[in-house]
Structures are given as structure tokens and as C-alpha cells.
Amino acid sequence: MKEARAMKKNILISPYGGLLLLALILALMPLAVSNDFHYDLLTKICLTATVAVGLNLLVGYAGQVSLGHAAFYGAGAYASAILTSQYNLSPMVALLSAAAGVGVMAWLVGRPILHLKGHYLSMATLGLGVIAAIVLNNEEQLTGGPDGVGLPPLSLFGHELSVFGEYQFAGLTFTGVELWYLLAAAVLVIAVLLALNIIDSPLGRALRALHGSEIAAQVAGVDTAKYKLRVFVISAVYASVAGSLYGHYSGFITPTVASFEHSIELITIVVLGGMASTFGVIIGAAILVLIPQFLTDFQELEMVVFGAILMAVMIFLPRGLLPSVLQRLQRGAQ
Amino acid sequence: MKTMLKNLAVGAVAALGLASLSPVAKAEDPIRIGSFLSVTGPAAFLGDPELKTLELYVHQLNENGGLLGREVQLVHYDDSGDASKARTFVTRLLRQDKVDLIIGGSTTGATMAAVPVIEQARVPFISLAGAETISTPVKKWVFKMPQSDRQAARRVLTDMRERGLTRIGLISGTGGFGASGRNVTLEEAKAMGIEVVADETYNPKDTDVTAQLTRIRNTDGVQAVLNFDFGQGPAIVTKNYKQLGIELPFYQSHGVASDSFLKLAGDAANGLRLPATALLVADTIPDSDPQHGVVTGYKKAYEDRYNSSVSTFGGYAYDGFQLAVQAIKQAGSTDPAKVRDALESIQGYVGVTGTYNLSAKDHMGLSYDSFRILEVKDGHWTLVE
């Protein structure tokens, strides 16, 4: 009994065991769903979680709060939209160029603003987010303005993947919706794998040192500015890729993808799921995508209930959902 | 609160399997009309009257025995002006709630995000958003209620031409509505032989536009001025226009056709003209007018029920709902293809927005003269004959 418990604990705590568990859950999800709407939610959860996993590297591990992360998500989505529909690039090329472009943008912006600390950094990233939203709303020839812009379906290696198509593989018929879910799930698993590697690398250790105390880290010889910038760029690229994919998935985007509200939603996911817990933020993403669907009966109260949940989590589970629960399990096991 | 918490707990448990979201379908189901509107958020001024109107008339219809002897059920979700949410809710309406028809999409973004999902599911959709792209080119399952801004521009320019004004100044906001209005005005003016001699823009957040207005006033031969925008910009333009003492005939677009604009602009609005639906002059519209009955009826029903004044946007929801009811009656069933065909064949439906003549080539069905030209007199809208 004790051994079984210990094993369970190890699977949950060891990061790569967690990755296997995640892949297993994602692979088994189709058994639990019954229609396209459920697949739509699952796909959204996976893409949102991908952004959150990237943002968590910055916020959870390095302790640098970004209140403008939707800007990178929006930039990725819009870059894909513009490059595919106005410059006729193939979606994959557009996605990669967008990610590279957003990476450069994050690097350029990050260099000056990451010198700021605490609230000042939050304010600067907030400003970045607001600027992105204004640009997307006003540069109408390019972005279509507040009414939004359409995107063609994604194509992978010359094969189009439309949400509305049907595809044959090895004698089995898949709908576009199912394949999109599998793609988003695969992207999430890769995103988590990369994040776990980063956390385990010298960069990850430097970031945690930085989170603990920036001065102490500097004294110990950690080039904090370099590492902060690096993780900022990485998390921006995560957001960009997820944004591009979401754009192709939905086929139509509006500037709300880069809005301040969306940035807040992303940071909420990280805090709610558990800072510095890669699997926690995935749970956070799932909750944030699902909550509006469960609260449709109390439309006017949605924000109130949502706020109450956040407050309750902060008061009773201050480290976020997953870390706090794991901590209790651990205590129980001992 | 207690039940809400309980519901939340149930919801959280169900989230694990997504199982609680399963549909329930029976043979004698009510007719289900789906709806997604921006009831909260920045576009709430659109979604709120739209939802109230739908609720009012669904209730009324059920009181009177329903439709085809079945009860009508309204399934509504609030997209809060977010296109991404709209898309998810439309998927839910179609795949989960299995609605027979959808009325919704307060904003163009929400509508356009929903269109691909709806086209694939083959369910009739009546959009309440304005942009031309919704109905041009025609999409098989998508209909739209409001006139386009091109028609507003044409209506204004027609009125100008009738008054012999052929050299005009244009001042527009750089926001989405103003910029699109500017483009269509320039195009329509060219087609109608009206010369735009001055073309100024301002940022929607500007608090003073006297510089632009002075340039227009100093342009040789300018005979009238049109301001194309919505929100608070036009109120500022109107006030500055008065302050500068410009005497030229002044026009606004349908974007400010509401009582709140009169409050913002105050006395400065007196004498200006704009295109609007008959709903705005419901109190003074002559009995002989074909829209008299429907406009006064809607206004009275809405204001009695909600104790707030009607708006053009609620009017779109009214027309959308009545057209849906008529189409379902005509089709004799809720078979989506039959309802769609019936919608497409509706001719001469007199609504609060105008007279709809739908066809396979026109899924909007209003002509530009469904806009009435109104003039502000002593702080009130009056109909120009």
C-alpha cells in the first residue's frame, strides 16, 4: 500500500512521469467526448495551455510578471493572417516566420524593459499589450481593423487541414475537428517537453535562482539580464506559435486576441493553476476555458463567480491549485 | 448563492468528463432558436436591446400558442464582444443544443467568426451586424438585417443631390466605422457625380477638430459637410461646427442615429440631417406611412416592458425574429433547408428597419431608401419628406 502510494507520488511529482500522464490523458480524451463542441473546447484548452506553459517559464520560474502577453499571441495570429492572405505564404512558413519575428520583437522590447523590476516591469509589459491592441485596431489596411481578418486553413506538408474537412488515414475516417484536437494536443505535449527541458537546464536553474533573489543570483555569478531576456523571448515564441495555430483553427480573428483582458486571462491561468508548475497551468487553462461554458446560466454573474473562485484559490490554495493539492497529498503520505 | 455554488461544484466535477454537457433530444421538442449576442463588454449597447427584444417576442409568441403548435425556446449565450467566444458558443448552439435557427452576432467580428461554423452545419443564420462583407458575396446560410454603410452613404448623397449640393467636404474618424464609411462615401460620390473637395480625418479619441473643420470651410466651393463616424467623435465635430459658425448644410451618418447623440451634442445638433430608420421618429411618423403600425407597436411593447427607450439595434433583432417566424411558418417545419429557402423567398416584409425583399442574390433585402432622412429640430428628430 505504502509502495503504491509512493509510486503514485513519484509519477505525479517526477516531471517526465507527469508528461506521460498528460499524453495519456490527452490520448484518452476522445473517449469522453461526444460531439464537435467538446472537441472545440479541448482544442482551445490545448492551445491556451501552450501559451500558459510558456508564460509560466517567465512568471512562475523567473518571477517576472508580464501583463502584455496577449500582444505576442495576437502578433503571431495576425502575422500568420497577413503573411498567408496578403503575401500568399504557406501557413507553416508563415507560422515559423511569425514565431521568428515575434522572437526578435520580444528581444528588442525585452532588452530595455527587463531592466525594470516589480511593478515597473508589469507596467511596461502592460503598455506593450495596450500598444499592440491599438495597432491591430487602427492599421486597417493590414489587419482589417476592429472587424477582424480571415485566415485560410492550416496546411501541413502540402495537405490542407480544414476544421470542416474529412480525412482518411489507414482506413479510418477522421473529421477535421478531431485531427485539429490531435494536433493541438501534440503541440501541447511538445511545448511541455521543451519547457521541462528548459527548467532542467542551466537556464532553468539560473531562473530559479533569479526568482529567489536577483541580487543573490548576481552575486553567485548568474548573468541575470541575459537569462531574463532569453526566457522572455522563449515565452513570446510560445505565445506566437499558439496564436498562429489558433488563427488557422478559428479561420477568423479580431483584435480581442491581443486585448488587455486576454493578457489578464493568461496571467490568471498561471496564478490559478500554480506558479512554477507546468502541469498546474494546464489545469488552470482547462478551468479558464471551461468556466464560461458552465456559467452561461448566470451570465450577469459570470465575472462575480469568476472573481470569487480566484479569491478562494488565493486564500485557501495560495500556491495555486496543483502545487497546493500535491503538497497536501504529500503531507498525507508521510 | 447556495444553489449557484452547488451548480459550480457539479460543474467542476462534470468538467472531468465533459459529460454533463450532453444533449437531450425528444420527438416533440420545442422549436429552438439559438442566439449569441454581445450583452456585456464594449458592444453591450448593441447586444442588450437585441437580447431584450428577442426575449420579449419569444415570450409573446409562446403566450399566443407558440409556432406550428410548438413552444419556442430561446437558447442564448453572451459572447461579450469576443469573436473567439462567439465561435465557441456557436459551435455549442449547433452541436450541443442543436438549435433550428440562429439569430445573433451583434458585431461584425462575432458574426464573421461564426459564419464558417454555421455554413458547415447548414443552419439558417440571421446576423444583426452591419458590415457589407457579411452579405457580399452572398453566403448560402447567412442573412443579415441592418443596411450597409454604403447604403447610408448613398442615401445622404442622394439627399444632397436633391438639394443641389454637389461639392462636399468629408470629415471621418479613423476608427473602423469611420474609415469604412469614408471609403464607401468616396466611391459612391464618384459614381453619383458628386465631388468630394475636402477629405479630413480625425482620431476617435480627439477632443477637438476645429483645425480640420477650418480647412474644410476654407476649401473653395464646398457646399455641404458630411461627418461619417460613431461614438463621441461626431458630437465633438457637431459642437465645433457650431462654434466655428459654419453655415453650410451639415450631415451625420446613421452611426449616431440615437437619442444619446442628441444629449451629447445638445443645441449644436439643431439643423443637421442624417439617415436613420423610421424607429427613431416613431412618435411623429404619419399614420399613412407603411411602417407606422410596426414601428409604433414595437416601440410601445418594448418601452412598456423594459422602461427604457428603443434603439435601432433592438429593431434589427425584432426584424430578424419576425422574419424567422415567418420563414418557419412558411416552411411548415423546422427543416433547415426549407426554412432557409423560405427566408430567401420573403418579399415585402415591412419591419421596423425597412421593407425586406430577400432573394437568392440579396440576403439583406433592404434598399438604400429604407433609410429615412431626419433633421434635428429643437433637439428632436423630425422626418424630412
Q: For B149-163, how does the pLDDT look when each residue is reduced to its tens digit (9 = 90+)?
A: 899 999 999 999 999
User: Closest chain A residue to B118 measured between Cα atoms?
Assistant: A164
- pLDDT tier, B124 (very low <50, low <70, confident <90, very high otherwise): very high
- B266 shares a domain with B161: yes
Average pLDDT for B207-211: 93
- Distant-in-sequence, close-in-space partners of B13: CB < 8 Å, separation ≥ 6: none
Tell which phi-psi region holds residue B206, choosing left (phi > 0), alpha (psi between -120 and 50) or beta.
beta
The mean-pLDDT minimum among A235-239, A252-256, A319-323 falls in A319-323
Are B236 and B376 part of one and the same domain?
yes
| B22 in any annotated domain | no
Same-domain pairing of B327 and B257: no
Contact A294 B8 (CB under 8 A): yes
Whether the CA torsion B20, B26, B29, B35 is positive or negative: it is: positive
Q: Is B120 at the interface with chain A, CB within 8 A?
A: yes
- For residue B352, count CB atoms less than 10 angstroms from its CB and return exposed for 0-12, middle for 13-18, buried for 19 or more: buried
| Residue B184 sits in the same domain as residue B99 | no
What's the pLDDT score for residue B179? 84
| pLDDT-above-70 percentage for chain B | 93
- The model's confidence at residue B340, banded by pLDDT at 50, 70 and 90, is very high
ipTM score of the complex? Answer: 0.80
A228 CB contacts (<8 Å, ≥6 apart)?
A: A62, A64, A110, A114, A210
Average pLDDT of chain B, as a whole number: 89
Contact predicate B382/B284, CB 8 Å: yes
Mean pLDDT across the stretch B302-331? 93
Q: Does B39 touch chain A (CB under 8 A)?
A: yes
- Count CA atoms closer than 13 A to B341's CA, side-chain side: 9
* Residues B84, A257: C-beta atoms closer than 8 Å: yes
Residue predicted with more confidence, A158 or B14: A158
Average of per-residue pLDDT across A158-172: 78
Amino acid letter for position A83 = L
C-alpha cell at B17: 468528463
Alpha carbon of B248 to those of A9, A224, B196, B222, B270: distances in Å? 80, 65, 15, 8, 13
User: How far does A300 lie from chain B, in Å, by closest CA?
Assistant: 8
Rounded Cα distance between A295 and A59, Å, is 28
Q: What is the pLDDT of residue A117?
A: 82
Please give the Cα distance from B313 to B130 (Å, whole number).
10
Partners of residue B159 on adjacent β-strands: none
What is the model's pLDDT at position A93?
A: 93
Of A290, A296, A305, the CB nearest to B4: A305
B4–chain A Cβ distance below 8 A for any pair = yes
Same domain, B175 and B139: no
**Mean pLDDT of all residues in B261-286:** 91
Report chain A residues whose CB lies below 8 A from the CB of B21: 37-38, 293
Query: Rounded mean pLDDT of A288-316?
Result: 81
Same domain, B194 and B142: no
Residue B25 Cα to chain centre, angstroms: 33
> Which of these, B105, B33, B16, B161, lies nearest to A287 by C-alpha position?
B16
Residue B257: CATH number of its domain:
3.40.50.2300
Q: Is B251 within 8 Å of B272 (Cβ atoms)? A: yes
How far the first Cα of chain B sits from its last, in Å, is: 56
B5 within a domain of the structure (yes/no): no
Are B199 and B183 a contacting pair, CB within 8 Å? no
Q: For residue A6, is pLDDT > 80?
A: no
Across the interface, whether the CB atoms of B77 and A296 are under 8 A apart is answered yes
Residues B133, A147: C-beta atoms closer than 8 Å: yes
pLDDT at A322: 85
Chain B residue whose CA is closest to A43: B88
- Does B142 lie at the interface with A, CB-CB under 8 angstroms? no
Looking at residue B267, its amino acid is D
Is the pLDDT at A251 greater than 80? The verdict is yes
Q: Which residue of A has its CA nearest to B9?
A: A294
How many structural domains compose chain B?
A: 2
Which of A324-333, B264-273, B312-321 has the lowest average pLDDT? A324-333
Q: Tell if the CB–CB gap between B96 and A37 is shorter than 8 Å.
A: yes
Q: How far is A253 from chain B (nearest CA, A)?
A: 7
Same domain, B117 and B155: no
Q: How confident is the model at residue A329 (pLDDT cuts 50, 70, 90)?
A: confident
Say if the Cβ atoms of B21 and A287 lie within 8 Å: no
Single-letter amino acid code for the residue at B384 = V
Q: Are B153 and B184 in contact (CB under 8 A)?
A: yes
pLDDT of residue B142: 96
Reading the block at residue B93, the C-alpha cell is: 448552439
Is-cis flag, bond preceding B137, omega within 30?
yes
Helix (H) / strand (E) containing B187: helix B176-192
The pLDDT confidence band at residue A12, using thresholds 50, 70 and 90, is: low
Contact partners, residue B105, CB within 8 Å, separation at least 6? B36, B37, B86, B111, B114, B125, B127, B128, B129
- Locate A236 and state its grid cell: 513570446
For the segment B57-101, what is each residue's pLDDT rounded down to a tens digit? Answer: 999 999 999 999 999 999 999 998 888 889 999 999 998 899 999
Inside any domain, residue B193: yes
Please check whether residue A218 is in contact with residue A109, taking contact to mean a CB–CB distance below 8 angstroms. no
The reply to whether B57 and B80 lie within a common domain is: yes
- Percent of chain B at pLDDT above 90? 69
Whether the Cβ atoms of residue B97 and residue B34 lie closer than 8 Å to each other: yes
Cβ contacts of B120 on chain A, cutoff 8 Å: 163-164
Q: By the CB < 8 Å criterion, does B146 face chain A?
A: no
Alpha carbon distance B203, A270 (integer Å): 36
Contact A32 B120 (CB under 8 A): no
Least Cα distance to B103 among B71, B69, B68, B146 occurs for: B146
CB contact under 8 A, A36 and B4: no
Length of chain B: 385
Please check whether residues B206 and B278 belong to one and the same domain. Answer: yes
What would the grid cell of residue A331 be?
A: 503531507
Task: Say what the pLDDT of residue A1 is.
Answer: 47
Q: Domain check: are B215 and B361 in the same one?
A: no
Looking at residue B153, its pLDDT comes to: 95
CB atoms within 10 A of CB A218: 14
Q: What is the pLDDT of residue A5?
A: 53
Interface check for B43 against chain A (CB to CB < 8 A): the answer is no
Contact B103, B47 (CB under 8 A): no
Is B19 within the bounds of a domain? Answer: no
Is residue B237 situated within a structural domain? yes
Least confident of A14-23, A225-234, B359-368: A14-23
- Residue B18, pLDDT > 60, answer no
User: CB count, 10 Å around CB of B16?
Assistant: 10
pLDDT above 70 coverage of chain A, percent: 95
Mean pLDDT of chain A: 87
- pLDDT tens digits, B368-377: 989 999 999 9
Over residues B333-359, the mean pLDDT reads 94
In a domain, B53, yes or no: yes
Give the gap in angstroms from C-alpha B115 to the nearest C-alpha of chain A.
Answer: 9
The three three-digit cell numbers of residue A212, written as one number: 529567489
Q: Are the beta carbons of A140 and B179 separated by less than 8 Å?
A: yes
The pTM of this model reads 0.82
Buried (b) or exposed (e) across A74-101, using 16+ Cβ within 10 A? Answer: bbbbbbbbbbbeeeebbbbebbbbbbeb
Provide the grid cell at A61: 520560474
The separation between CA B332 and the C-alpha centre of its own chain, rounded to angstroms, equals: 28
Asked whether residue B378 falls in the same domain as residue B267, the answer is yes
Residue range A98-104: mean pLDDT, rounded: 96
* Rg, C-alpha atoms of chain A: 20
- Interchain pair B83, A254: CB under 8 A: yes
Search chain A and give the residue with CA nearest B111: A147
**Best of A44, A256, A260, A309 to disrupt the B interface by mutation (most B CBs within 10 Å)?**
A256
Please state, in angstroms and rounded to a whole number, the distance separating the CA atoms of residues A78 and B290.
47
Q: Please, are residues A281 and A273 in contact by the beta-carbon 8 Å criterion? A: yes
Q: Residues B316, B146: contact at Cβ < 8 Å?
A: yes
CA–CA distance, A266 with A65 (Å, rounded to integer): 11
pLDDT of residue B1: 44
Whether residue B108 lies within 8 A of chain A, CB to CB, comes out as yes
pLDDT score of A299: 66
* Structural domain of B75: 29-148+301-369
Residues 6 or more apart whose Cβ sits within 8 Å of residue A242: A47, A48, A50, A51, A54, A73, A76, A187
Are residue B257 and residue B345 in the same domain, yes or no? no
Kindly tell me if the per-residue pLDDT of B23 is higher than 50: no
User: Is B292 within a domain?
Assistant: no
CB contact under 8 Å between B179 and A145, yes or no, is: yes
Instruction: Tell me the longest C-alpha to C-alpha distance in chain B.
Output: 72
pLDDT digits 0-9 by tens, A117-142: 888 988 999 999 999 998 998 887 78
Domain for residue B17, yes or no?
no
Share of chain A above pLDDT 90, in %: 41
B6 within 8 A of B75, measured Cβ to Cβ = no
